Chains A and B, each alone.
Chain A
Amino acid sequence: MMKLTINGKVTAVDVDPAMPILWVVREKLGLTGTKFGCGMALCGACTVHLDGRPVRSCSTPIAEAEGKAITTIEGVAGPEGELSKVQQAWISEQVPQCGYCQSGQIMAATALLRDNPSPSDADIDAAMAGNLCRCGTYVRIRRAIKVAAGLEPAKGAPQTGSAQA
């Protein structure tokens, strides 16, 4: 049994310590917001935080997470579901297309802004270059990061879309 802290909750799982974090959170803990894209740390779809630091969960064994705090996309919003600044900006700038890469993008952007609250374009490039978006939403991701950082005004799209039924 391995004791893990995920999104602030302590839980125990019985898995091979070599199993990547990705498959533990998706299959054993039912947190499917973290995505599989490449399995080789090449796309960033699987990005989660270990003690606030972004890691590619497809290539990080669960053993490395022991004693550390794992945060997944499900743990980014506040306890009542209040969206973070980054999530709000993702909505105001209408970033996602298919959405498959966006959990990883938001995790990477959240870590960037924590370390660097006013990133330059070059900082954004450096922090986000590991996260692929096949749909091509980079222009909007860049803008949304600036909006979340307060460097640019939100485009003004209302922040409440109606939910998928």
Chain B
Amino acid sequence: MNEIAKPAQRSRAAKWSRRGFIGAGVLAGGTLLIGVAVRPGNPVGKLGSLVAGGQGEQLINSWLKIDADNIVTAIVPHCEMGQGAHSVLAQMLADELDADWSLVRVMQAPADGSYVVTDTIRGFVAQGTLGAPDWLEPTWNGLFTRIGRLADGMITGGSSSVRTTGQHTMRIAGAAARQMLVGAAARAWGVPAAEITTAGSVLSHKASGRSAPYARFAAAAAEEDMPQTPALKAPGDYRLMGTDAPRTDIPAKVNGTASFGIDAVVTGQTMTYAAVRRAPVPGTRVAKMDASAAKAMPGVLQILNMGDFLAVVADSYWQAQQALNAITAEYTAPESSIRSSQDQFARFSAALDEAGEAGGKEVIALGDAKGAMAGAARKISADYQVPYLAHAPLEPMNATVWVRDGKCEIWTSTQVPLMARSAAAKALDISADDVTMHHPLLGGGFGRRLEVDYVIMAARIGQATGYPVKMIWSREEDTQKGLFRCADMSRFTGGLDARGRLVAYNNVFTQRNDPADACDCAFYDIPNKSIRVAEAELHLPFAAFRSVDHSQQAFFIESFIDEAAQAAGRDPLEFRLAMLGQSPRHKAVLEKAAAMAGWSTRPAAGRGRGIALTESFGTIVAEVVEVDMSSGKPRATNVWCAADPGFAMNPDGFRNQMEGGIVFGLTAALYGEISLRDGAVEQGNFHDYKLLRMDECPAIAVEIINGKHEKLGGAGEPGLPPVAPALANAIFAATAKRIRALPISKHFA
């Protein structure tokens, strides 16, 4: 885990360099980085103009501003895609600043190099927590000396916002600003700084009875020296952190005013709209098209054959899509010999067969797996598989662009605004400085919007039109032609000793992205392990999916552990607890979930309960699922979730993320499947790519174990991994039928 500059008891954030520069991010001594001073006299005119707003506003540093009405605006470098990052990061900043929460606003940081989320990147790289996107790869070595190449690193992913930016940037910015305000007031009032207190965005000096809102000293504060080591609060002094401060983004989401990428308008310009159709099989291109019928259709402005895709530009999106539907096209022959899902899984099993008991690339080797297996009293083995999945955020991929005079303006929902900027620049062969990004709220991301394929497509369309155009993918396009959670297969052999303990563990699977340790269950005391990856070709392109490798690995591992318990003739909870002697936090979480579910009581007839335990993105989660099989088909009636994130900055927000992760995971477990026919994706819309609906949603109870640990876990992803195995294990408990391949609904069709 990331051990950078953790805030200890009223600790000093070491080495905050005042010489820090605006541009590519700062790394002082390799320990801490922060966007620094933006104030009069600093050579930061460009940045100032990007974030400055109303009159009398004073930028204190590049992460917050205070205006004449005493409104504090936190400038948040992460994107808001539903995870509540905007609000919780502001909450952390506001707490250190002693700001009044009702006077705090959030602003999305502009796509500028100053907001490089280098700490997030470093988190990814140092821990390998999430697949560094391709563009990061070349900087993998010598990362910290080649910081300039990381200018695209303004990213939101890896459940990292609070843990990295929050802890290492927002809190420090808030604390520093507070200290500067105090300094300015002390100077003006002629009193020692130590006698000044702060609360509710007001400075007070008790002895002289003086007080003033922050706004009064905002300008003077900007003249104060930037504190080298601002003091951070100890947990006992938190006022906002750890509370359910209401989310700042919610009011706009209930009255239709929240603006998403798809809602972009180019002020003062007539909007046009593009519908697109990519070649159906990855790597293929348009060979021939007949657009004669489409040309004559109302509203059509331009029909474009871009080689890898077709586009119709029209006065309205509906007209564009209608015209696109009227175009017939032929495509080049696919190169891959994988034509069907069966072909894909045959590749996987061939790779596993070839790897055998010892082949493939070693990931974990512990003890003597071979010897222990040979000496085992009892052996079990099982193969598991999962299909491809589409992310299916409810806002389909889209981007609005205006390319003119060698410059480009882009409005889009993205998790990686700076990367989108440079990708568009590259596609248009212009400088990234000539690309202006607007990146409003995301209608869901889930990893899909870490990719910029759709931004590049829109930029190319915009180049062809020269006028503003909004490209929107149809749901079918979104489901079929994007990037996907990989399909995968995993093979296990386990050895139990005479007392029914799992003493040998042999596992090989075919897909490994991130986090690096997702394939291991290190918290269980299993003395001899061999875990390997036998890579096999994937037909569809990969994009990180909510919880990435944990989304399949948790199903594999926790299903197999359940099978081991069954083979040992032990209760699944007892079997797991017996392996958690070295992992007291995991044990507590598992016991908590079991207690919430009333594990020791017998479920009603026709029902079963299953349990699973995972750790992902620094958060330990156990879930118990109760399933009702009385209709012959599985219906999840209850999910009990216990989670230990170290410390939940906003417990209600954390709970909301657990609930969301559970529903997302249930969709994947029950229904999620992208299958192939003739090399193309078969599913198209929500009738054949089903998502869980209200009437299928179980009751969900979430409890947080709050140890006030300094190392924080994530929230956005960790709720997802345990739910699929817990459900499959529950079905086994109810029916004695073991599910080894997802989706579950296929077994009960």
Q: Which residues on A are within 8 Å of B, measured CB to CB?
A: 15-16, 19-20, 23, 26-28, 30-40, 42-43, 45, 72-74, 76-77, 81, 83, 87, 90-91, 94-103, 106, 124-126, 128-142, 157-158, 160-165
CB-CB under 8 A for A27 and B317, given A35-B395, A100-B443: yes
Q: Indicate if the CB atoms of A40 and B258 lie closer than 8 Å.
A: no
Among all A-B residue pairs, the 10 with the closest Cβ atoms: A33-B256, A136-B663, A98-B82, A100-B443, A99-B253, A97-B82, A165-B105, A73-B256, A125-B695, A136-B660
Q: Indicate if the CB atoms of B73 and A165 lie closer than 8 Å.
A: yes
Q: Indicate if the CB atoms of B686 and A98 lie closer than 8 Å.
A: no
- Bound-state Cα–Cα, A37 to B474, Å: 8
Q: 8 Å CB contacts to A: which residues of B389-427? A: 392-396
How far is the CB of A124 from the nearest CB of chain B, in Å?
A: 7
In the complex, which residues of chain B have a beta carbon less than 8 angstroms from the beta carbon of A74?
A: 255-257
Q: Give A103's nearest chain B residue, CB to CB.
A: B256
Question: Is B608 an interface position by the 8 A CB rule?
Answer: no
Give the secondary structure class of A's interface.
loop
Q: Indicate if the CB atoms of A134 and B394 lie closer than 8 Å.
A: yes
- Bound-state Cα–Cα, A145 to B316, Å: 35
- Bound-state Cα–Cα, A81 to B254, Å: 12
Q: Give B698's nearest chain A residue, CB to CB.
A: A139
Q: Indicate if the CB atoms of A165 and B685 lie closer than 8 Å.
A: no
Q: Indicate if the CB atoms of A161 and B248 lie closer than 8 Å.
A: yes
Q: Give B661's nearest chain A residue, CB to CB.
A: A136
Stretch touching chain A among B11-19, B38-46, B259-267, B352-360:
B259-267
- Bound-state Cα–Cα, A95 to B249, Å: 11
How far is the CB of A130 from the nearest CB of chain B, in Å?
A: 8
CB-CB under 8 A for A38 and B660, given A96-B253, A97-B83, A161-B251: no
Q: Indicate if the CB atoms of B253 and A42 lie closer than 8 Å.
A: no
Question: Is B158 an interface position by the 8 A CB rule?
Answer: no
- Bound-state Cα–Cα, A141 to B442, Å: 20
How far is the CB of A107 from the nearest CB of chain B, in Å?
A: 10
Q: Which of A28, A31, A32 gathers the greatest number of chain B CB atoms within 10 Å?
A: A32
Known: A33-B256, A99-B260, A165-B53. 16 other contacts (CB 8 A): A16-B298, A19-B319, A38-B686, A74-B256, A81-B255, A98-B443, A99-B443, A100-B260, A100-B395, A102-B254, A132-B693, A136-B662, A138-B663, A138-B697, A139-B659, A162-B103
Name 8 A/B residue pairs within 8 A (Cβ), A-sorted: A19-B319, A32-B263, A43-B394, A98-B445, A99-B252, A138-B663, A139-B697, A161-B251
How far is the CB of B671 from the nearest CB of chain A, in Å?
A: 12
- Bound-state Cα–Cα, A23 to B273, Å: 11
Q: 8 Å CB contacts to A: which residues of B631-682? A: 652-653, 656-657, 659-664
- Bound-state Cα–Cα, A97 to B208, Å: 46
Question: Is B332 an interface position by the 8 A CB rule?
Answer: no
With beta carbons under 8 angstroms apart, the residue of B298, B316, B395, B699 that contacts A139 is: B699
CB-CB under 8 A for A162 and B253, given A36-B396, A42-B686, A136-B660: no
Question: Is B104 an interface position by the 8 A CB rule?
Answer: yes
Q: Indicate if the CB atoms of B394 and A132 lie closer than 8 Å.
A: yes
Q: Indicate if the CB atoms of A23 and B394 lie closer than 8 Å.
A: no
Q: Give A131's nearest chain B residue, CB to CB.
A: B694
Q: Give A145's nearest chain B residue, CB to CB.
A: B694
Question: Is B444 an interface position by the 8 A CB rule?
Answer: yes
- Bound-state Cα–Cα, A158 to B340, Å: 53
Question: Is B708 an interface position by the 8 A CB rule?
Answer: no
Question: Is B310 an interface position by the 8 A CB rule?
Answer: no
Q: Indicate if the CB atoms of B254 and A87 lie closer than 8 Å.
A: yes
How far is the CB of B474 from the nearest CB of chain A, in Å?
A: 6
With beta carbons under 8 angstroms apart, the residue of A43, A124, A136 that contacts B664 is: A136
- Bound-state Cα–Cα, A101 to B252, Å: 13
With beta carbons under 8 angstroms apart, the residue of A27, A42, A94, A98 that contacts B441 is: A98
CB-CB under 8 A for A98 and B247, given A35-B443, A124-B694, A132-B691: no
Q: Give B74's nearest chain A residue, CB to CB.
A: A165
Q: Give B53's nearest chain A residue, CB to CB.
A: A165
Total interface residues on B, CB under 8 Å, equals: 78
Q: Indicate if the CB atoms of A134 and B73 lie closer than 8 Å.
A: no
Q: Indicate if the CB atoms of B441 and A126 lie closer than 8 Å.
A: no
How far is the CB of A6 from the nearest CB of chain B, in Å?
A: 12
Q: Indicate if the CB atoms of B102 and A160 lie closer than 8 Å.
A: yes
With beta carbons under 8 angstroms apart, the residue of B105, B256, B394 that contacts A133 is: B394
In the complex, which residues of chain B have a beta carbon less than 8 angstroms from the beta carbon of A38?
A: 475, 685-686
With beta carbons under 8 angstroms apart, the residue of A36, A101, A157, A158 that contacts B262 is: A36
Q: Give B102's nearest chain A residue, CB to CB.
A: A162
CB-CB under 8 A for A164 and B695, given A23-B316, A157-B652: no
How far is the CB of B67 from the nearest CB of chain A, in Å?
A: 9
In the complex, which residues of chain A have a beta carbon less than 8 angstroms from the beta carbon of B442?
A: 98
- Bound-state Cα–Cα, A138 to B662, Å: 11
Q: Indicate if the CB atoms of B687 and A42 lie closer than 8 Å.
A: yes
Q: Give B716's nearest chain A residue, CB to CB.
A: A97
With beta carbons under 8 angstroms apart, the residue of B71, B248, B253, B318 that contacts A102 is: B253
Question: Is B301 an interface position by the 8 A CB rule?
Answer: no
With beta carbons under 8 angstroms apart, the residue of A45, A94, A131 that contacts B250 is: A94
Q: Indicate if the CB atoms of A76 and B73 lie closer than 8 Å.
A: no
Q: Indicate if the CB atoms of A87 and B255 lie closer than 8 Å.
A: yes
Q: Give A34's nearest chain B residue, CB to CB.
A: B256
- Bound-state Cα–Cα, A38 to B80, Å: 22
CB-CB under 8 A for A134 and B250, given A23-B318, A36-B262: no
- Bound-state Cα–Cα, A98 to B392, Å: 13
Question: Is B136 an interface position by the 8 A CB rule?
Answer: no
CB-CB under 8 A for A136 and B255, given A20-B318, A38-B686, A97-B84: no
Q: Indicate if the CB atoms of B692 and A136 lie closer than 8 Å.
A: yes
Q: Indicate if the CB atoms of A39 and B694 lie closer than 8 Å.
A: no
Question: Is B151 an interface position by the 8 A CB rule?
Answer: no
Q: Indicate if the CB atoms of B685 and A162 lie closer than 8 Å.
A: no
Q: Indicate if the CB atoms of A101 and B394 lie closer than 8 Å.
A: yes
With beta carbons under 8 angstroms apart, the residue of B256, B663, B695 that contacts A129 is: B695
In the complex, which residues of chain B have a beta carbon less than 8 angstroms from the beta carbon of A90?
A: 250, 253-254
Q: Give B263's nearest chain A residue, CB to CB.
A: A32
In the complex, which residues of chain A have a beta carbon less than 8 angstroms from the beta carbon of B664?
A: 134-136
Q: Give B474's nearest chain A residue, CB to CB.
A: A39
In the complex, which residues of chain A have a beta carbon less than 8 angstroms from the beta carbon of B257?
A: 33, 74
Q: Indicate if the CB atoms of A106 and B254 lie closer than 8 Å.
A: yes
Question: Is B180 an interface position by the 8 A CB rule?
Answer: no
- Bound-state Cα–Cα, A10 to B251, Å: 27
- Bound-state Cα–Cα, A77 to B252, Å: 12
In the complex, which residues of chain B have a beta carbon less than 8 angstroms from the beta carbon of A35?
A: 260, 262, 394-395, 443
Q: Indicate if the CB atoms of A134 and B393 lie closer than 8 Å.
A: yes
Question: Is B107 an interface position by the 8 A CB rule?
Answer: yes
Q: 8 Å CB contacts to A: which residues of B458-507? A: 472, 474-475
In the complex, which residues of chain A have a beta carbon less than 8 angstroms from the beta carbon of B252?
A: 99, 163-164
Question: Is B21 an interface position by the 8 A CB rule?
Answer: no
Q: Indicate if the CB atoms of B693 and A164 lie closer than 8 Å.
A: no
Q: Indicate if the CB atoms of B659 and A161 lie closer than 8 Å.
A: no
- Bound-state Cα–Cα, A74 to B255, Å: 6
Q: 8 Å CB contacts to A: which residues of B213-272? A: 244, 246-260, 262-263, 265, 271
Q: Indicate if the CB atoms of A140 and B659 lie closer than 8 Å.
A: yes
CB-CB under 8 A for A40 and B687, given A16-B298, A98-B81: yes
How far is the CB of A158 from the nearest CB of chain B, in Å?
A: 6
CB-CB under 8 A for A97 and B685, given A102-B254, A161-B247: no
Question: Is B101 an interface position by the 8 A CB rule?
Answer: yes
Q: Indicate if the CB atoms of B258 and A99 lie closer than 8 Å.
A: yes
- Bound-state Cα–Cα, A49 to B249, Å: 25
CB-CB under 8 A for A164 and B81, given A137-B656, A157-B244: no
Question: Is B700 an interface position by the 8 A CB rule?
Answer: yes
Q: 8 Å CB contacts to A: which residues of B62-121? A: 71, 73, 80-84, 86, 101-107
- Bound-state Cα–Cα, A128 to B686, Å: 16
